[in-house]
Amino acid sequence: MTEGTKAVIAIDQVSFRYPEQESYALQNISFQIYEGEWMAIVGHNGSGKSTLAKLLNGLQFPETGDITVDGMKLSEETVWEIRRKVGMVFQNPDNQFVGTTVQDDVAFGLENHGVPRDVMVRRVHEALEHVRMSAFLDQEPHHLSGGQKQRVAIAGIIALQPRVIILDEATSMLDPVGRREVLETIRKLKNEAGLTVISITHDLDEASQADRMVVMNQGKVYKEGLPRDIFQMDETLTKLGLDIPFPIKMAKALEAKGFHFPNIYLTDEELVDALWTLHLNK
Amino acid sequence: MMEKMIFGRYIPGDSIIHHMDPRSKLIFVFAYICIVFLANNLVTYGILTMFTVLIMLVSKVSIRFFLNGLKPILWLVVFTFFLQVFFNRQGDLLYHYAFIRIYSEGIRQGIFISLRFLLLIFLTSLLTLTTTPISLTDGIESLLNLLKKVKFPVHELALMMSISLRFIPTLMDETEKIMKAQMARGANFSSGSLKERMKAVIPLLIPLFVSSFKRAEELATAMEARGYQGGEGRTKYRLLIWKAADTLSLCLLALITILLAVFRT
């Protein structure tokens, strides 16, 4: 769906290493993220995916190569403008909650950008409405669950009306319910507002629902493509320290028992559909 | 753990005092602390006591909370009272036994000074009981704004205060968690000699410090990612509104000051 549409973020031959470190955290990374797509970046721990996220937001600058966001090249001068376009949700829901109450936290980013108060009040309420947290306006963070805190963090980002949201393992500290809530919220927002989502994740079900995937390995892009194609190379993925989603594993196990499936199934529903039609065909 | 904390505790309520501007409350309490020292006779202390009791009633906060706030300082009040009683050598001699001599002026001063303590404690607790910590921070920031002219980092101070306030419960929770984890591994926090107990605190303190550093770093990154560049060019979400009640309270304060100045001897 994405080829031919406009690239929101272009990463061109980017290399990066942390100060005082010999080896590169990222080496010759090049890919593009298109307008309105959901891009999943996967890879084992230390493969450089979080570093890449920090580069996209200007929290770190590349040693060589260029990053262009929405036509603007990332540099010291443009970094604040770029941060306005690229919102980021981090892993730990507690450590990114700046405000003393829910509404203060959502307003924090708006305050930083000097948004007038009347606009701010409206946007704070709208953003909280979107993530279904309006009932918690004056609630303090220690009274909220992890999933609720992450939803407030998302509200804080969408109040800034960014073009791109980066989820830096934003669901990794949540329980399955909280994770589903957060992902549903983001998906809804993406569809409504045409947001571009970059999700850095270990969660394969999350990755398999993406439009496109990038697999990182030791600071390099190992493969880029549709989730369907990427999850097909199962042994290679396991060697890279990754897993494959449950429906594919299940289909493989059934194939070993003599069943045959014409396609790759990424969701439980697809596999169930395939199974009951298979039964009919017999 | 939060329940035990009396200091700085806020009791939600719906009185006029709850809805007042934190700035006027801060000015009021500060000025009140000064004028309490003007009182030096029965009439002036009477005026102050009546006035203090009146605002305590208006605030509709249960007396229990005031008494709670008094508890840790009670021994100091009693101590100063007896200090005055035993060592003040003015006025008429009331009682004489061996080396103990109690004079009328001693008892009078003792009562007055204890009363002064009580009034101060009640009024300052009233401030924290009726004002949320965050609006107190806002009030302090706004009052300190004048100091910006002499390069005093008002915004930074206010930000630090509000972040500290926000992290108190989080760190409390974490302390409890680490404590339980260390207890599960055989640490003993509640018995042994003083030295042993102090040693036992180390496995609690070090992880707490380390995780605070980590938290600080993550928070700073998240703040930067959300466009935080310091105090310049920021707008404010929370608004302080000066209402009629605030002006009225300061007028009342002026009135009391005049009364005290007239009636003191």
Q: Is there a contact between A195 and A36 (Cβ–Cβ < 8 Å)?
A: yes
Q: Where are the alpha helices (DSSP H) in B60-190?
A: 63-87, 104-130, 133-144, 154-184
Q: At what angle do helices B63-87 and B104-130 cross, to 10 degrees?
A: 160
Contact B170 A110 (CB under 8 A): no
Q: Is there a contact between A39 and A93 (Cβ–Cβ < 8 Å)?
A: no
Q: What is the mean pLDDT of residues A72-81?
A: 88
Residues of A in Cβ contact (< 8 Å) with B169: 140-142
Query: Closest Cα partner for B127 from B20, B47, B4, B39?
Result: B20
Contact A100 B162 (CB under 8 A): yes
- Percent with pLDDT over 90 in chain A: 25
> In this predicted structure, what is the pLDDT of residue A1?
45
> In this predicted structure, what is the pLDDT of residue B220?
93
pTM of the model: 0.81
pLDDT > 60? residue B42: yes
Mean pLDDT of chain B: 86
Tokens of B192: 């042994």
Q: Which of B219, B236, B238 minimises the CB distance to A98?
A: B219
CA atoms of B174 and B144, how far apart (whole Å): 33
Residues of A in Cβ contact (< 8 Å) with B226: 83, 87-88, 98, 108-109, 112, 156-157, 160
Q: Where are the alpha helices (DSSP H) in A170-267?
A: 176-193, 204-208, 227-230, 234-239, 246-256
> pLDDT of A13-69, one tens digit each?
888 888 878 888 888 889 899 988 999 999 888 888 888 988 988 888 898 889 998
User: Minimal Cα distance from A102: which residue of B?
Assistant: B166
> pLDDT of A154-193, one tens digit each?
999 999 999 899 999 888 888 888 888 888 888 988 888 8
Give this complex's ipTM.
0.85
Output the CA–CA distances (angstroms, integers) from residue A4 to A1, A33, A34, A229, in the order listed. 9, 11, 9, 20
Higher pLDDT, B235 or B6: B235
Higher pLDDT, A261 or A65: A65
> In this predicted structure, what is the pLDDT of residue A246?
83
Q: What is the mean pLDDT of residues B51-68?
A: 87
Contact A110 B223 (CB under 8 A): no
Residue B44's identity, in one-letter code, is T
User: Minimal Cα distance from A91: which residue of B?
Assistant: B218
Q: Report the run of H or E that residue A87 belongs to, with start and end.
A: strand A86-89
* Residues in A 153-212 with any Cβ partner in B closer than 8 A: 156-157, 160
Contact A59 B224 (CB under 8 A): yes
Contact B165 A104 (CB under 8 A): no
Quick check: B220 contacting A, CB < 8 Å? no
> pLDDT of A212-250, one tens digit each?
999 988 888 988 989 888 888 777 888 887 888 888 888
- DSSP notation for A107-166: HHHHHHTT--HHHHHHHHHHHHHHTT-GGGTT--GGGS-HHHHHHHHHHHHHTT--SEEE
- For the ranges A204-208, B48-52, B92-96, which has the lowest average pLDDT? B92-96
Quick check: A90 contacting B, CB < 8 Å? yes
> In this predicted structure, what is the pLDDT of residue A2?
44
> pLDDT of B182-215, one tens digit each?
999 988 888 888 888 888 889 899 999 999 999 9
pLDDT > 80? residue B256: yes
Q: What is the mean pLDDT of residues B256-260?
A: 91
For chain A, the C-alpha Rg in angstroms (whole number) is 20
Do you know the residue count of chain B?
265
Q: Is there a contact between A210 and A249 (Cβ–Cβ < 8 Å)?
A: no
> In this predicted structure, what is the pLDDT of residue A276?
82
> In this predicted structure, what is the pLDDT of residue B5?
54
CA distance B216 to chain A (A): 8
Residues of B in Cβ contact (< 8 Å) with A121: 237
CA atoms of A69 and A7, how far apart (whole Å): 9
Residue that is written with structure tokens 């949320």 in the block:
B132
Residue A259's identity, in one-letter code, is F
Residues of A in Cβ contact (< 8 Å) with B163: 98
Contact B237 A140 (CB under 8 A): no
Q: What is the mean pLDDT of residues B65-85?
A: 86
Do you know the residue count of chain A?
282
Contact A95 B218 (CB under 8 A): yes
Mean pLDDT of chain A: 86
CA distance A108 to chain B (A): 8
Contact A83 B225 (CB under 8 A): yes
Q: Is there a contact between A163 and A8 (Cβ–Cβ < 8 Å)?
A: yes
> In this predicted structure, what is the pLDDT of residue B1?
46
Residues of A in Cβ contact (< 8 Å) with B158: none
> In this predicted structure, what is the pLDDT of residue A119?
93
Q: Report the run of H or E that residue B224 belongs to, with start and end.
A: helix B194-225
